[in-house]
Amino acid sequence: MATSIEIEAKALLTRDEYNKVLAHFMLDVADGYIQKNYYIDTENRDLRKLGLSLRIRKLNGYIMQFKLPMAEGLLEKSQNLVREQFDLFQKKQEFPEGDISDFIESLYINPKDLKIIASLSTLRIEKEYEDLTLAIDENRYGENQDYELEMEATSMQKARTLLKKICDEVGIPYKENLDSKQKRAINALSSPK
């Protein structure tokens, strides 16, 4: 199981602001790629209650990622899956065995109780910016759509500073987003139509 630390700042955009960012960097949606995230929890949201998140991302294969909050950023544990493992989990709730399953059991959560509770598709366009990568995202989940900038850096302060700088260059307000894609997708399930 691979382990990494993810420190990223995010800013929500309107559709017009999203288009301004693309125009500023001379990008087009054709420069992007699609990734799909499947968010996992129990019926009682046991992982969410602990402040943890679990997803399977489909992008040139399948990767399961477990995120645990740290003082700054998230500790991310990753496990590659083959399509058959994903299909068995999606269709029959057979959670893939491995280090993530073992870790979940150490939290006294039965992996058999886990299921896909929400999904989100992202059209991601990446742009190198000051030796880092800026992600420009269009997200779709249920009947919802939103736009977001993400900057991953070595510290939260650096990520926020660079995102604010980008917003200033483009001429749009910097609106920090503290809600993850997973939280927005799950909240959309319970919000009134």
For 107-172, the DSSP string reads TT--GGG-EEEEEEEEEEEEEEETTEEEEEEEEEETTEEEEEEEEE-SSHHHHHHHHHHHHHHHT-
What is the rounded (10 degree) CA torsion for 75, 79, 84, 87? -10
14: pLDDT strictly greater than 50: yes
Rounded distance between C-alpha atoms, residue 121 and residue 128, angstroms: 22
Q: What is the tens place of the pLDDT at every residue in 39-89?
A: 999 999 999 999 999 999 999 999 999 998 888 888 899 999 999 999 999
Return the CATH number of 2-188, one of 3.40.640.10, 3.40.50.1360, 2.40.320.10, 3.40.50.300.
2.40.320.10
Average pLDDT rounded to a whole number, residues 15-38: 96
187 pLDDT band (50/70/90 cuts)? confident
Rounded distance between C-alpha atoms, residue 8 and residue 160, angstroms: 8
> Is 108 or 70 the better-scoring residue by pLDDT?
108
Q: How buried is 146 (Cβ within 10 angstroms: 0-12 exposed, 13-18 middle, 19+ buried)? A: buried
Rounded distance between C-alpha atoms, residue 105 and residue 113, angstroms: 11
Residue 186 confidence (pLDDT): 87
Residue 193 confidence (pLDDT): 47
The pTM (predicted TM-score) of the whole model is: 0.91
Q: What is the tens place of the pLDDT at every residue in 130-176?
A: 999 999 999 999 889 999 999 999 999 999 999 999 999 999 999 99
Residue 70 confidence (pLDDT): 87
